[in-house]
Amino acid sequence: MREIESLSALHTLLRGAGPLSGLRLQDLDLTGAQEALMRRTDLDGLVVLGGHHSQALEAHLRAHGALVFPTDPQAPVDPYRSTLYSPHELYAGLAEHGYGATPDARAYRWSRRADDRHDAFVTLLRAIHDDSISDALDELVVGVPTVAVMGGHALARGTGRYAGAALLGHRLASAGLTVVTGGGPGAMEAANLGALAPDEPSLGAAVRRLAQVPSFEPDLSAWARVALEVRDELVAAGRGAARVRSIGIPTWFYGHEPPNVFCDGIAKYFSNALREDGLLARSTAGLVVLEGAAGTVQEIFQAATPLYYSREGAALPVVVLVGREHWTRGVPVWPALTALAAGRPMAEHLHLVDSVDEATQVVLDAS
């Protein structure tokens, strides 16, 4: 079984002598390949996932044993996409019509309407979409050391903690790690911003400019517009950087939390459960947890479960909580973690620190 995700790969196959049976054509515009495909009859088991094709080509494919999976022309997303989202893709139309007209906002409304109507077809398309996103994410991070940075979505731009989270992301990415976050605002945005910035002076300037719109509430459109401007300037300043420095993994489940724009790729899911698992499972180089509330606590214990059941000698990522007062008294997660870890291998992989400098050093020492 071979997935064909580019027209160049398809044309190479069509010029060869090998059979097309068993291939998966994912999200391709087959218009330019129609003539060549219409000449082929070795199509049994070929699967066409979305994309564009004529009715004549579809009839020919089906007549020779191929399966053609449809989409919904009304859907604001492509369920068979083969790549992650770009920030400008999710925020298309923002400047002209505001956030409510963007694909990101429309996808949330489409998903919620389907829930209200118990629409099985949309439920199926959402599941296919999320699996496609997982596949694209796997291809992007395979063999790449990644470190997750967690933290609250309410952290405002212009605060010292926001600047600290941005510096953390920058130093981790500058050390060769790929920073992965939940892809939302607050601490997540700060870490992705830091990873994107080519140097500390440009990061400082970006932090100061973003402080003009501290929160996505009440004006989400203004919050996103200034961020896109800053992003474009940072990308231009860092032109030539080839590797992926950061990824955001947000979810439409939390429709009130917009995705931040400072990622190299956005893996946005409809299912929050798949999103959470995908985020933590890919954090091979460690997990840094900044101050947060319920959502952040959930992620801590979700990460702790595989550590708890691990065996002696297993390769485990470090988990670093930043903020002694917060995690021991404000939200007393640390006592629970250390109680669970007592006498187990996971105890060696838990760390409680007070600064992003300490957190960075713990992760780098463990990498």
* 248-257: pLDDT as tens digits: 999 999 998 9
Q: What is residue 311's predicted lDDT score, i.e. its pLDDT?
A: 86
Start-end of CATH 3.40.50 domains in the chain? 135-284
Whether the per-residue pLDDT at 367 is higher than 90: the answer is no
Quick check: bond before 218 cis, omega within 30?
yes
Q: Mean pLDDT across the stretch 342-346?
A: 94
The per-residue b/e assignment along 318-348, b for 16 or more CB within 10 angstroms, e otherwise, is: bbbbbbeebbeeebebbeebeebbeeebbee
Cα separation of 192 and 181, whole Å? 7
The per-residue b/e assignment along 178-196, b for 16 or more CB within 10 angstroms, e otherwise, is: bbbbbbbbbbbbbbbbbbb
- Edge to edge, what strands does the sheet with 47-49 contain? 2-4, 23-26, 47-49, 67-69
Residue 23 pLDDT level (bands cut at 50, 70, 90): very high
Per-residue CA distances from 179 to 143, 153, 175, 183 (Å): 14, 17, 11, 11
pLDDT tens figures, 29-79: 999 999 999 999 999 999 999 999 999 999 999 999 999 998 888 899 999
- Please give the residue that has the higher pLDDT: either 117 or 329: 329
Whether the per-residue pLDDT at 121 is higher than 70: the answer is yes
Cα Rg of the chain, angstroms: 22
Q: Identify whether the C-beta of residue 262 lies closer than 8 Å to the C-beta of residue 227.
A: yes
Cα separation of 337 and 346, whole Å? 9
The class level of CATH for 135-284 reads alpha beta
Q: What is residue 130's predicted lDDT score, i.e. its pLDDT?
A: 97
